[in-house]
A and B are shown apart, each in its own frame.
Chain A
Amino acid sequence: MPHDELRESVPALTFPRQAFVSLLVFAAVWETLSHLAPYLGIPPFAIPSFVRIAQSLADITPIDIAVTLARVIAALLASFVLGVSLAMAMYRSDSLDKYLHPMIRILMAVPVVSWILFAVLWFPGVEFRICFVLVVVCGPVFLVDTLDAMRGVPRELRTMMQSFRPTTPQYFIKLMLPAIVPTIFTSWKVNISLAIRVVTIAELVGAVTGIGHQLSVAEELFSVADVFAWTLVLVVLLFLLEAMVARVEVRMLRWRT
């Protein structure tokens, strides 16, 4: 049977049996190890049981989740506006592109840890430091993806549009922006995952609130159960944000189905 037909024959919503089995196996191995730890010479705190992890989950402070979420969303929005605006300007101006492109590539090559250290050394405010790190990491991704997508708009469509003589804003609003929407959604999904990871590291180093800070506290207390619980929260947060973006994507790109 051809692959396409096979894919079409699978219902849209099925029970993820394989995923469920693998998670169950992981949980069973973890729980067994947590009980066997004393006999294996592993410190008891290293592999906490699920009961202990559940206790840590119950102690999760929602304010820290809200703070991290707010930081991620605000920084992503700022990165998006900045990245897309710069990409449009670079698309319009070859010379601007030639000046900025090498700089963007260099920015993208700088490790996240270096940005965090720069932020700590340069800026006194915690919120500004975190926002700076997130924008400097996520902004270039939006920029490069948007620029590539605009350059990928078929020449036939660009010529058609130009033949009807749009103004520059009309050209971007009626052609370029709708044409790059699929890439923008992909970029958002990539950046959400990136931002969640980066914000955690940034909070770990320089914040007194947020999930990263709570992870730092857990580390100081040698509480693997707390680290596990907060990590679980981060993963769920990432999945929820991705699901939200996917939902909006389906609505906005319904012309593709």
Chain B
Amino acid sequence: MSGPPPIEVRGLRKVFRQATSGQAVVAIDRLDLTIAPREVVAIVGQTGCGKSTFFDLMIGLEAPSEGTLRIGDKSPHANFDHFRGRIATVFQQDRLLPWRSALDNAKLPLELIGLPEAEQRDRTLTWLKRLGLGQFTNAFPHELSGGMRQRVAIARAFSVQPDILLADEAFGHLDEVTAAELRETFLALARECGSTAILITHQLEEAIGVGDRIVVFGKSAKLLADIHVAQWPKSKHALLREAIQSTLQSDKPDPRLGRLKKSRATPNARRAATGRRKTTT
């Protein structure tokens, strides 16, 4: 099986017009970014910096005002249907359908791509069991804890074995122990599936702990820093955290992060891109 395609963002601009005043608001202003196949990228930035707009553009729910966002040679917006079953998302809230059981929620994307019923069930059960929900497959969302619901949401995303996994503050509302555990599980599964993963977060610990790369957005998604975490030994993670914090506060790149180079894939990701993609079912 071929691996996920690279993501190329060139001169991306997104402008919204305010409904009441008609005033133009620039959410993303000329963003350039390249994400290699199988790379795990954490995007950090302050509230209102355009992270969520970037997320919506990645999903394909919004069209760029200018510039291009391409996954492989296709646009997630213009070629919306092409990415059915290829892009999966985990949101901040679990966003489970309250009338569906955990099993039915997790198999929703498989129903949409039209897999045979037996395969849908087998695949979903496998993922729910892997996420520790084997005993709760028939439970409705209101019968599950917040952490369990988020696990179902993760199972739903992984069930299609997507090329691209998007997570928007997916663990931010959980308690730290549950969040750390789920973060690790998410990362391990993403690597095992061979998916490219983009995590949007405002938690620096999460970004440093999870990402191969950390992309720091300033106002209007201005690229302030593009950090390859592997180049920072664990002993210097506290310093890295401080430097990112300072970058976010001043909206200027902190000198400790080094000069911003043109966005490119990490050595890890390049190695991963040449390897075989693992399958889980």
Contact = CB atoms under 8 A, between A and B. Distances in A.
Contacts, number: 55
B140 A163 contact: no
User: Looking at chain B, what size class is its interface with the partner chain?
Assistant: 20 to 34
Nearest to B91: A160
A26 to B, nearest CB: 42
B93 A156 contact: yes
B232 to A, nearest CB: 32
Interface residues of A, number: 19
A163 B61 contact: yes
Interface stretch (B94-102, B195-203, B245-253): B94-102
B97 A178 contact: yes
B141 to A, nearest CB: 9
A255 B84 contact: no
Interface in B60-117: 60-61, 80-81, 83-85, 87-89, 91, 93, 95, 97-100, 108-109, 111-112
Interface in A225-257: 253, 255-256
A165 B111 CA distance: 11
Contacts of A164: 84, 88-89, 108-109, 112
B269 interface: no
Contact of A174 (B85, B112, B142): B112
Contacts of B93: 156
A125 interface: no
Contact of B98 (A159, A165, A166, A255): A255
Interface of B: 59-61, 80-81, 83-85, 87-89, 91, 93, 95, 97-100, 108-109, 111-112, 140, 142, 166
Interface of A: 156-157, 159-160, 162-167, 170, 174-175, 178-179, 181, 253, 255-256
